[in-house]
Structure 1
Protein backbone atom coordinates (compact mmCIF):
# COMPACT_ATOMS: atom_id res chain seq x y z
CA UNK A 1 0.00 0.00 0.00
CA UNK A 2 1.04 3.65 -0.34
CA UNK A 3 3.15 5.03 2.48
CA UNK A 4 0.77 7.88 3.24
CA UNK A 5 -2.15 5.45 3.52
CA UNK A 6 -0.13 3.28 5.90
CA UNK A 7 0.77 6.25 8.08
CA UNK A 8 -2.84 7.41 8.28
CA UNK A 9 -4.07 3.92 9.19
CA UNK A 10 -1.28 3.63 11.77
CA UNK A 11 -2.82 6.63 13.52
CA UNK A 12 0.01 9.07 12.80
CA UNK A 13 -2.35 11.75 11.54
CA UNK A 14 -4.48 12.93 8.66
CA UNK A 15 -3.19 12.80 5.08
CA UNK A 16 -2.26 16.47 5.30
CA UNK A 17 -0.35 15.93 8.55
CA UNK A 18 1.36 12.85 7.11
CA UNK A 19 2.58 14.81 4.09
CA UNK A 20 4.11 17.39 6.40
CA UNK A 21 5.94 14.68 8.35
CA UNK A 22 7.32 13.25 5.12
CA UNK A 23 8.36 16.69 3.92
CA UNK A 24 10.24 17.26 7.20
CA UNK A 25 12.09 13.93 6.68
CA UNK A 26 10.67 12.43 9.85
CA UNK A 27 9.74 9.08 8.28
CA UNK A 28 12.06 6.15 7.58
CA UNK A 29 11.41 2.95 5.67
CA UNK A 30 13.83 0.15 6.49
CA UNK A 31 16.32 2.65 7.92
CA UNK A 32 16.21 5.05 4.97
CA UNK A 33 14.52 8.48 5.10
CA UNK A 34 11.51 8.57 2.79
CA UNK A 35 9.78 11.75 1.61
CA UNK A 36 7.44 10.41 -1.06
CA UNK A 37 3.84 9.75 -0.03
CA UNK A 38 3.45 7.57 -3.12
CA UNK A 39 6.13 5.10 -2.02
CA UNK A 40 4.65 1.62 -1.79
CA UNK A 41 5.43 -0.40 1.33
CA UNK A 42 4.71 -3.90 2.60
CA UNK A 43 2.84 -3.28 5.82
CA UNK A 44 3.75 -6.74 7.14
CA UNK A 45 7.43 -6.87 6.16
CA UNK A 46 8.83 -3.33 6.03
CA UNK A 47 9.94 -1.49 9.16
CA UNK A 48 8.43 1.97 9.17
CA UNK A 49 9.56 4.54 11.72
CA UNK A 50 8.00 7.96 12.31
CA UNK A 51 9.71 10.45 14.60
CA UNK A 52 11.77 7.66 16.10
CA UNK A 53 8.80 5.37 16.82
CA UNK A 54 8.39 2.02 15.08
CA UNK A 55 4.85 1.81 13.72
CA UNK A 56 2.60 -1.22 13.66
CA UNK A 57 -0.08 -1.67 11.04
CA UNK A 58 -3.63 -1.34 12.30
CA UNK A 59 -6.33 -1.15 9.67
CA UNK A 60 -9.34 -1.39 11.96
CA UNK A 61 -9.84 -0.03 15.46
CA UNK A 62 -12.56 -0.81 17.98
CA UNK A 63 -13.71 1.36 20.89
CA UNK A 64 -16.08 0.59 23.75
CA UNK A 65 -17.69 3.76 25.08
CA UNK A 66 -19.91 4.23 28.09
CA UNK A 67 -22.04 6.86 26.40
CA UNK A 68 -23.43 9.56 28.70
CA UNK A 69 -26.73 11.32 28.27
CA UNK A 70 -26.92 14.55 26.24
CA UNK A 71 -24.37 13.26 23.70
CA UNK A 72 -25.38 12.43 20.12
CA UNK A 73 -24.56 9.05 18.55
CA UNK A 74 -23.10 10.65 15.44
CA UNK A 75 -19.74 11.76 14.06
CA UNK A 76 -20.74 15.43 13.82
CA UNK A 77 -23.57 17.69 14.90
CA UNK A 78 -24.04 21.45 14.81
CA UNK A 79 -25.87 21.69 18.13
CA UNK A 80 -24.72 18.89 20.43
CA UNK A 81 -21.54 17.15 21.53
CA UNK A 82 -21.09 13.87 19.67
CA UNK A 83 -19.67 10.54 20.83
CA UNK A 84 -16.66 11.14 18.58
CA UNK A 85 -15.83 14.25 20.62
CA UNK A 86 -15.19 11.94 23.57
CA UNK A 87 -12.58 9.79 21.81
CA UNK A 88 -8.88 10.25 21.04
CA UNK A 89 -7.03 11.56 17.99
CA UNK A 90 -6.57 8.07 16.57
CA UNK A 91 -10.34 7.60 16.45
CA UNK A 92 -10.66 10.79 14.42
CA UNK A 93 -7.78 9.92 12.11
CA UNK A 94 -9.24 6.44 11.57
CA UNK A 95 -12.69 7.93 10.92
CA UNK A 96 -14.55 5.69 13.35
CA UNK A 97 -18.34 5.81 13.61
CA UNK A 98 -20.91 4.45 16.06
CA UNK A 99 -22.32 0.98 15.37
CA UNK A 100 -25.98 1.78 15.68
CA UNK A 101 -27.17 4.56 17.91
CA UNK A 102 -28.37 5.39 21.38
CA UNK A 103 -30.90 8.16 21.89
CA UNK A 104 -29.55 11.41 23.30
CA UNK A 105 -31.06 10.65 26.73
CA UNK A 106 -29.98 6.97 26.75
CA UNK A 107 -26.63 5.97 28.22
CA UNK A 108 -24.47 2.86 28.23
CA UNK A 109 -22.63 0.59 25.83
CA UNK A 110 -21.74 1.94 22.40
CA UNK A 111 -19.30 0.32 19.98
CA UNK A 112 -17.38 2.56 17.58
CA UNK A 113 -15.17 1.32 14.75
CA UNK A 114 -14.05 2.00 11.19
CA UNK A 115 -14.88 -1.57 10.17
CA UNK A 116 -17.92 -1.21 7.96
CA UNK A 117 -18.36 -4.96 7.49
CA UNK A 118 -18.55 -5.48 11.23
CA UNK A 119 -21.05 -2.65 11.65
CA UNK A 120 -23.23 -4.13 8.91
CA UNK A 121 -23.12 -7.58 10.51
CA UNK A 122 -23.97 -6.25 13.96
CA UNK A 123 -26.88 -4.16 12.67
CA UNK A 124 -28.30 -6.49 10.01
CA UNK A 125 -31.93 -7.42 10.76
CA UNK A 126 -31.13 -10.93 9.50
CA UNK A 127 -28.58 -11.45 12.29
CA UNK A 128 -31.06 -10.76 15.13
CA UNK A 129 -28.32 -9.42 17.41
CA UNK A 130 -29.54 -9.25 21.01
CA UNK A 131 -29.38 -5.87 22.75
CA UNK A 132 -29.86 -5.82 26.50
CA UNK A 133 -31.15 -2.70 28.24
CA UNK A 134 -31.76 -1.83 31.86
CA UNK A 135 -34.75 0.45 32.27
CA UNK A 136 -36.17 2.27 35.25
CA UNK A 137 -39.90 2.40 34.66
CA UNK A 138 -42.51 4.65 36.18
CA UNK A 139 -45.20 2.10 37.01
CA UNK A 140 -45.40 -1.46 38.31
CA UNK A 141 -44.36 -4.01 35.68
CA UNK A 142 -46.50 -7.15 35.79
CA UNK A 143 -46.53 -10.73 34.57
CA UNK A 144 -49.01 -9.60 31.93
CA UNK A 145 -46.39 -7.17 30.62
CA UNK A 146 -43.84 -9.99 30.42
CA UNK A 147 -46.29 -12.10 28.40
CA UNK A 148 -47.07 -9.18 26.07
CA UNK A 149 -43.37 -8.66 25.37
CA UNK A 150 -42.95 -12.37 24.66
CA UNK A 151 -45.76 -12.23 22.09
CA UNK A 152 -44.37 -9.08 20.45
CA UNK A 153 -45.57 -5.54 21.15
CA UNK A 154 -47.61 -4.03 18.31
CA UNK A 155 -46.93 -0.33 17.71
CA UNK A 156 -48.65 2.07 15.32
CA UNK A 157 -46.06 1.74 12.56
CA UNK A 158 -44.62 -1.74 13.09
CA UNK A 159 -44.88 -4.94 15.09
CA UNK A 160 -41.93 -5.69 17.35
CA UNK A 161 -40.35 -9.09 17.40
CA UNK A 162 -40.81 -11.10 20.62
CA UNK A 163 -38.70 -9.59 23.39
CA UNK A 164 -37.64 -10.66 26.85
CA UNK A 165 -38.75 -8.62 29.84
CA UNK A 166 -37.24 -9.47 33.23
CA UNK A 167 -38.30 -7.76 36.44
CA UNK A 168 -35.28 -6.98 38.63
CA UNK A 169 -36.80 -4.77 41.34
CA UNK A 170 -40.18 -3.28 42.21
CA UNK A 171 -40.71 -0.31 44.52
CA UNK A 172 -44.42 -0.35 45.26
CA UNK A 173 -44.26 2.80 47.39
CA UNK A 174 -42.63 4.85 44.61
CA UNK A 175 -44.53 2.87 41.97
CA UNK A 176 -41.39 2.20 39.95
CA UNK A 177 -39.81 -0.90 38.47
CA UNK A 178 -36.29 -1.80 37.41
CA UNK A 179 -36.32 -4.19 34.46
CA UNK A 180 -34.04 -5.79 31.89
CA UNK A 181 -35.31 -5.78 28.33
CA UNK A 182 -33.70 -7.76 25.51
CA UNK A 183 -34.64 -6.87 21.94
CA UNK A 184 -33.35 -8.03 18.56
CA UNK A 185 -34.15 -4.86 16.64
CA UNK A 186 -33.10 -1.26 17.07
CA UNK A 187 -35.96 0.94 15.92
CA UNK A 188 -36.16 4.59 16.92
CA UNK A 189 -37.13 4.89 20.62
CA UNK A 190 -38.18 1.24 20.47
CA UNK A 191 -37.74 0.27 24.12
CA UNK A 192 -39.48 3.42 25.34
CA UNK A 193 -42.34 2.90 22.90
CA UNK A 194 -42.76 -0.75 23.86
CA UNK A 195 -43.02 0.18 27.53
CA UNK A 196 -45.38 3.06 26.71
CA UNK A 197 -47.61 0.62 24.82
CA UNK A 198 -48.12 -1.11 28.16
CA UNK A 199 -49.19 2.15 29.82
CA UNK A 200 -45.91 2.90 31.57
CA UNK A 201 -42.98 5.26 31.06
CA UNK A 202 -39.22 4.72 30.88
CA UNK A 203 -37.49 7.35 33.03
CA UNK A 204 -33.94 6.04 32.62
CA UNK A 205 -32.47 3.73 29.99
CA UNK A 206 -29.04 2.11 29.85
CA UNK A 207 -27.69 -0.37 27.31
CA UNK A 208 -25.75 -3.16 28.99
CA UNK A 209 -24.77 -5.38 26.07
CA UNK A 210 -24.91 -5.83 22.32
CA UNK A 211 -24.23 -9.27 20.87
CA UNK A 212 -21.14 -10.66 22.61
CA UNK A 213 -20.02 -7.26 23.94
CA UNK A 214 -20.84 -6.36 27.55
CA UNK A 215 -20.44 -2.90 29.03
CA UNK A 216 -17.30 -2.63 31.15
CA UNK A 217 -18.71 -1.47 34.49
CA UNK A 218 -15.36 0.11 35.38
CA UNK A 219 -15.92 2.72 32.68
CA UNK A 220 -17.48 5.88 34.04
CA UNK A 221 -19.95 7.78 31.89
CA UNK A 222 -18.03 9.34 29.01
CA UNK A 223 -15.04 7.02 29.39
CA UNK A 224 -13.85 4.61 26.70
CA UNK A 225 -11.28 1.94 26.02
CA UNK A 226 -10.17 -0.19 23.11
CA UNK A 227 -11.66 -3.67 22.85
CA UNK A 228 -9.56 -6.38 24.46
CA UNK A 229 -8.16 -9.37 22.59
CA UNK A 230 -10.79 -11.52 24.31
CA UNK A 231 -13.58 -9.25 23.07
CA UNK A 232 -12.20 -9.35 19.54
CA UNK A 233 -12.14 -13.15 19.73
CA UNK A 234 -15.76 -13.04 20.94
CA UNK A 235 -16.68 -11.06 17.84
CA UNK A 236 -14.87 -13.61 15.69
CA UNK A 237 -16.74 -16.44 17.39
CA UNK A 238 -19.91 -14.45 16.80
CA UNK A 239 -19.08 -14.94 13.10
CA UNK A 240 -18.36 -11.27 12.55
CA UNK A 241 -15.37 -10.54 10.34
CA UNK A 242 -12.86 -8.21 12.03
Structure 2
Protein backbone atom coordinates (compact mmCIF):
# COMPACT_ATOMS: atom_id res chain seq x y z
CA UNK A 1 0.00 0.00 0.00
CA UNK A 2 1.26 3.50 -0.82
CA UNK A 3 2.64 5.49 2.12
CA UNK A 4 0.49 8.52 1.30
CA UNK A 5 -2.62 6.34 1.20
CA UNK A 6 -1.83 4.89 4.63
CA UNK A 7 -1.28 8.35 6.14
CA UNK A 8 -4.46 9.67 4.53
CA UNK A 9 -6.52 6.70 5.73
CA UNK A 10 -5.28 7.17 9.29
CA UNK A 11 -5.95 10.91 9.21
CA UNK A 12 -2.29 11.69 9.82
CA UNK A 13 -1.73 13.70 6.65
CA UNK A 14 -3.35 14.59 3.35
CA UNK A 15 -1.69 13.34 0.17
CA UNK A 16 0.01 16.70 -0.43
CA UNK A 17 1.13 16.89 3.22
CA UNK A 18 2.58 13.39 2.92
CA UNK A 19 4.58 14.52 -0.11
CA UNK A 20 5.99 17.47 1.84
CA UNK A 21 6.87 15.24 4.79
CA UNK A 22 8.72 12.84 2.50
CA UNK A 23 10.66 15.63 0.79
CA UNK A 24 11.68 16.95 4.19
CA UNK A 25 13.11 13.54 5.10
CA UNK A 26 10.56 12.98 7.88
CA UNK A 27 9.29 9.59 6.66
CA UNK A 28 11.25 6.41 7.38
CA UNK A 29 10.59 2.80 6.41
CA UNK A 30 12.49 0.22 8.44
CA UNK A 31 14.83 2.99 9.57
CA UNK A 32 15.58 4.24 6.05
CA UNK A 33 14.56 7.76 4.96
CA UNK A 34 12.05 7.61 2.10
CA UNK A 35 11.66 10.71 -0.09
CA UNK A 36 8.81 9.31 -2.22
CA UNK A 37 5.42 9.31 -0.46
CA UNK A 38 4.06 7.14 -3.26
CA UNK A 39 6.33 4.25 -2.36
CA UNK A 40 4.53 1.03 -1.51
CA UNK A 41 5.06 -0.69 1.83
CA UNK A 42 3.60 -3.70 3.59
CA UNK A 43 1.67 -2.28 6.56
CA UNK A 44 1.81 -5.63 8.34
CA UNK A 45 5.58 -6.13 8.07
CA UNK A 46 7.33 -2.82 7.39
CA UNK A 47 8.04 -0.35 10.20
CA UNK A 48 6.72 3.05 9.12
CA UNK A 49 7.63 6.22 11.02
CA UNK A 50 6.58 9.82 10.48
CA UNK A 51 8.55 12.55 12.22
CA UNK A 52 10.00 9.93 14.57
CA UNK A 53 6.59 8.53 15.56
CA UNK A 54 5.65 4.94 14.62
CA UNK A 55 2.55 4.57 12.44
CA UNK A 56 0.28 1.63 13.29
CA UNK A 57 -1.94 0.72 10.37
CA UNK A 58 -5.00 -1.49 10.62
CA UNK A 59 -8.01 -1.96 8.43
CA UNK A 60 -10.61 -2.07 11.20
CA UNK A 61 -11.17 -0.44 14.56
CA UNK A 62 -13.42 -1.61 17.39
CA UNK A 63 -14.35 0.92 20.06
CA UNK A 64 -16.38 0.52 23.23
CA UNK A 65 -18.24 3.73 24.07
CA UNK A 66 -20.16 4.52 27.23
CA UNK A 67 -22.81 6.56 25.45
CA UNK A 68 -24.04 9.59 27.37
CA UNK A 69 -27.64 10.83 27.21
CA UNK A 70 -28.43 13.60 24.75
CA UNK A 71 -26.29 12.13 21.97
CA UNK A 72 -27.80 10.23 19.06
CA UNK A 73 -26.56 6.92 17.64
CA UNK A 74 -25.83 8.10 14.10
CA UNK A 75 -22.86 9.01 11.94
CA UNK A 76 -24.11 12.49 11.09
CA UNK A 77 -26.98 14.81 11.85
CA UNK A 78 -27.58 18.44 10.96
CA UNK A 79 -29.15 19.35 14.31
CA UNK A 80 -28.13 16.82 16.95
CA UNK A 81 -24.76 15.83 18.38
CA UNK A 82 -23.80 12.30 17.32
CA UNK A 83 -21.66 9.61 18.91
CA UNK A 84 -19.00 10.25 16.25
CA UNK A 85 -18.64 13.79 17.57
CA UNK A 86 -17.27 12.22 20.77
CA UNK A 87 -14.36 10.57 18.92
CA UNK A 88 -10.93 11.99 18.19
CA UNK A 89 -9.91 12.81 14.62
CA UNK A 90 -7.62 9.76 14.70
CA UNK A 91 -10.61 7.40 15.04
CA UNK A 92 -13.06 9.34 12.89
CA UNK A 93 -10.61 8.88 10.00
CA UNK A 94 -11.64 5.20 9.92
CA UNK A 95 -15.29 6.16 9.23
CA UNK A 96 -16.73 4.06 12.08
CA UNK A 97 -20.45 3.67 12.70
CA UNK A 98 -22.51 2.55 15.69
CA UNK A 99 -23.54 -1.11 15.77
CA UNK A 100 -27.24 -0.76 16.41
CA UNK A 101 -28.81 2.19 18.16
CA UNK A 102 -29.49 3.45 21.63
CA UNK A 103 -32.25 6.03 22.16
CA UNK A 104 -31.11 9.61 22.61
CA UNK A 105 -31.77 9.50 26.37
CA UNK A 106 -30.40 5.96 26.86
CA UNK A 107 -26.89 5.47 28.24
CA UNK A 108 -24.37 2.69 28.12
CA UNK A 109 -22.60 0.24 25.88
CA UNK A 110 -22.31 1.11 22.21
CA UNK A 111 -19.87 -0.59 19.86
CA UNK A 112 -18.37 1.59 17.12
CA UNK A 113 -16.55 -0.04 14.21
CA UNK A 114 -15.98 0.08 10.47
CA UNK A 115 -16.25 -3.72 10.23
CA UNK A 116 -19.52 -4.22 8.37
CA UNK A 117 -19.42 -8.02 8.56
CA UNK A 118 -19.15 -8.05 12.35
CA UNK A 119 -21.93 -5.46 12.63
CA UNK A 120 -24.17 -7.60 10.43
CA UNK A 121 -23.53 -10.69 12.57
CA UNK A 122 -24.28 -8.81 15.79
CA UNK A 123 -27.48 -7.30 14.43
CA UNK A 124 -28.81 -10.23 12.41
CA UNK A 125 -32.25 -11.23 13.74
CA UNK A 126 -31.39 -14.88 13.03
CA UNK A 127 -28.50 -14.92 15.51
CA UNK A 128 -30.47 -13.70 18.54
CA UNK A 129 -27.47 -11.92 20.07
CA UNK A 130 -28.50 -11.02 23.65
CA UNK A 131 -28.53 -7.43 24.86
CA UNK A 132 -28.64 -6.71 28.58
CA UNK A 133 -30.11 -3.53 30.05
CA UNK A 134 -30.26 -2.06 33.53
CA UNK A 135 -33.38 0.00 34.08
CA UNK A 136 -35.20 1.93 36.77
CA UNK A 137 -38.96 1.59 36.62
CA UNK A 138 -41.84 3.68 37.88
CA UNK A 139 -44.08 1.01 39.37
CA UNK A 140 -43.78 -2.29 41.20
CA UNK A 141 -42.19 -5.01 39.06
CA UNK A 142 -43.22 -8.42 40.37
CA UNK A 143 -43.02 -12.12 39.55
CA UNK A 144 -46.06 -11.82 37.28
CA UNK A 145 -44.01 -9.48 35.06
CA UNK A 146 -41.12 -11.96 35.03
CA UNK A 147 -43.50 -14.63 33.74
CA UNK A 148 -45.06 -12.34 31.12
CA UNK A 149 -41.67 -11.26 29.78
CA UNK A 150 -40.54 -14.90 29.68
CA UNK A 151 -43.44 -15.72 27.36
CA UNK A 152 -43.19 -12.57 25.23
CA UNK A 153 -45.06 -9.29 25.59
CA UNK A 154 -47.51 -7.86 23.08
CA UNK A 155 -46.43 -4.33 22.14
CA UNK A 156 -48.67 -1.40 21.17
CA UNK A 157 -48.53 -2.34 17.47
CA UNK A 158 -49.60 -5.95 18.08
CA UNK A 159 -46.11 -7.44 17.77
CA UNK A 160 -45.32 -10.12 20.36
CA UNK A 161 -41.70 -10.02 21.49
CA UNK A 162 -39.49 -13.05 21.76
CA UNK A 163 -39.00 -14.41 25.30
CA UNK A 164 -36.98 -12.06 27.50
CA UNK A 165 -35.28 -12.64 30.85
CA UNK A 166 -36.33 -10.17 33.53
CA UNK A 167 -34.43 -9.99 36.83
CA UNK A 168 -35.76 -7.91 39.72
CA UNK A 169 -32.86 -6.29 41.54
CA UNK A 170 -34.76 -4.12 44.01
CA UNK A 171 -38.23 -2.77 44.73
CA UNK A 172 -38.84 0.18 47.01
CA UNK A 173 -41.24 2.98 47.81
CA UNK A 174 -40.12 6.20 46.17
CA UNK A 175 -41.31 9.79 46.69
CA UNK A 176 -43.96 9.34 43.98
CA UNK A 177 -44.86 5.71 44.68
CA UNK A 178 -43.42 2.23 44.11
CA UNK A 179 -40.20 1.91 42.07
CA UNK A 180 -38.12 -0.99 40.82
CA UNK A 181 -34.60 -1.65 39.60
CA UNK A 182 -34.24 -4.44 37.09
CA UNK A 183 -32.02 -6.15 34.54
CA UNK A 184 -33.56 -7.22 31.25
CA UNK A 185 -32.06 -9.45 28.58
CA UNK A 186 -33.62 -9.31 25.11
CA UNK A 187 -32.56 -10.88 21.81
CA UNK A 188 -34.20 -8.33 19.52
CA UNK A 189 -33.75 -4.66 18.79
CA UNK A 190 -37.20 -3.29 18.07
CA UNK A 191 -37.74 0.47 18.19
CA UNK A 192 -37.88 1.64 21.86
CA UNK A 193 -38.37 -2.03 22.75
CA UNK A 194 -37.55 -1.99 26.46
CA UNK A 195 -39.70 1.08 27.12
CA UNK A 196 -42.57 -0.37 25.11
CA UNK A 197 -42.36 -3.75 26.88
CA UNK A 198 -42.79 -2.09 30.28
CA UNK A 199 -45.50 0.18 28.94
CA UNK A 200 -47.33 -2.98 27.86
CA UNK A 201 -47.44 -4.12 31.50
CA UNK A 202 -48.50 -0.71 32.79
CA UNK A 203 -45.14 0.63 33.93
CA UNK A 204 -42.76 3.38 32.87
CA UNK A 205 -38.98 3.28 32.32
CA UNK A 206 -37.37 6.32 33.96
CA UNK A 207 -33.71 5.37 33.38
CA UNK A 208 -32.18 2.98 30.88
CA UNK A 209 -28.61 1.80 30.38
CA UNK A 210 -27.26 -1.00 28.18
CA UNK A 211 -24.61 -2.99 30.01
CA UNK A 212 -23.88 -5.87 27.62
CA UNK A 213 -24.16 -6.97 24.01
CA UNK A 214 -23.34 -10.57 23.20
CA UNK A 215 -20.22 -11.46 25.23
CA UNK A 216 -19.14 -7.82 25.45
CA UNK A 217 -19.81 -6.05 28.77
CA UNK A 218 -19.50 -2.35 29.43
CA UNK A 219 -16.23 -1.45 31.17
CA UNK A 220 -17.35 0.01 34.55
CA UNK A 221 -14.30 2.31 34.59
CA UNK A 222 -15.47 4.15 31.45
CA UNK A 223 -17.17 7.42 32.39
CA UNK A 224 -20.07 8.69 30.30
CA UNK A 225 -18.74 9.86 26.93
CA UNK A 226 -15.47 7.94 27.30
CA UNK A 227 -14.38 5.20 24.91
CA UNK A 228 -11.51 2.82 24.29
CA UNK A 229 -10.45 0.12 21.86
CA UNK A 230 -11.50 -3.42 22.63
CA UNK A 231 -8.86 -5.68 24.15
CA UNK A 232 -7.73 -8.83 22.33
CA UNK A 233 -9.71 -10.92 24.86
CA UNK A 234 -12.86 -8.86 24.31
CA UNK A 235 -12.45 -9.22 20.55
CA UNK A 236 -12.14 -13.01 20.82
CA UNK A 237 -15.16 -13.25 23.10
CA UNK A 238 -17.19 -10.96 20.86
CA UNK A 239 -16.36 -13.05 17.78
CA UNK A 240 -17.21 -16.27 19.62
CA UNK A 241 -20.51 -14.77 20.70
CA UNK A 242 -21.49 -14.24 17.06
CA UNK A 243 -20.49 -17.74 16.02
CA UNK A 244 -17.37 -16.53 14.20
CA UNK A 245 -14.19 -18.53 14.57
CA UNK A 246 -11.75 -15.86 13.37
TM over 0.5: yes
SS in 1 for 2:4: helix
Are positions 1:20 and 2:23 aligned together? no
Q: Do the aligned partners of 2:62 and 2:229 also contact (CA within 8 Å) in 1?
A: yes
Kindly indicate whether the alpha-carbon contact (under 8 Å) linking 1:72 and 1:80 is maintained by their aligned counterparts in 2. yes
What's the CA shift string for 1:151-171, capped at 9, x where partnerless?
A: 111121522111011110001
Which residue is 1:74 aligned to? 74
| Farther off after superposition, 84-93 or 128-137 | 84-93
The C-alpha deviation readout for 1:82-104, integer Å capped at 9, x for no partner, is 11111112211111111111000
Structure 1 CA distance, aligned partners of 2:37 and 2:100? 38
Q: 1:215 aligns with which of 213, 218, 222?
A: 218
* 2:161 corresponds to: 160
Matched, 1:180 2:191: no
* Equivalent residue number for residue 92 of structure 2: 92
Q: State the alpha-carbon separation in 2 of the partners of residues 209 and 2 from structure 1.
A: 39
2:7 and 2:18 in contact (8 A); partners too = no
Give yes or no for contact 2:4–2:18 (8 Å, CA) kept in 1.
no
Task: From 176, 184, 196, give the equivalent of 1:193.
Answer: 196
Distance, in Å, in 1 between the alignment partners of 2:91 and 2:162 is 34
Query: 2-side partners of 1:203 and 1:148: how far apart?
Result: 20
Q: Deviations over 1:71-125 (max 9, x none)?
A: 0111111111111111112211111111111000100111101111111111111
Structure-2 separation of matches of 1:62 and 1:179: 29
Aligned to 2:133: 133
Structure 2 CA distance, aligned partners of 1:146 and 1:85?
Answer: 38
Q: Cα distance, 1:241 vs. partner?
A: 6.7
Shift, 1:176, TM fit:
0.6
Q: Does 1:51 align with 2:48?
A: no
Query: Root-mean-square deviation (CA), in Å?
Result: 1.8
Task: Give secondary structure in 1 for the equivalent of 2:117.
Answer: helix
- What TM-score, normalized by structure 1, do the two folds share? 0.91
Question: 2:123 and 2:244 mapped to 1: Cα distance?
Answer: 11
Q: Alpha-carbon deviation of 1:177?
A: 0.6
> 1:170: which partner in 2?
171
Measure, in 1, the Cα distance between the counterparts of 2:190 and 2:244: 22
The alpha-carbon deviation at position 240 of structure 1 amounts to: 3.7
1:40 Cα offset (Å) = 2.6
Secondary structure of the equivalent of 2:119?
Answer: helix
Secondary structure class of the residue paired with 1:112: strand
Cα distance, 1:207 vs structure 2: 0.3
Q: 1:111: which partner in 2?
A: 111
How many residue pairs align between the two structures? 238
Say whether 1:41 aligns with 2:41. Answer: yes
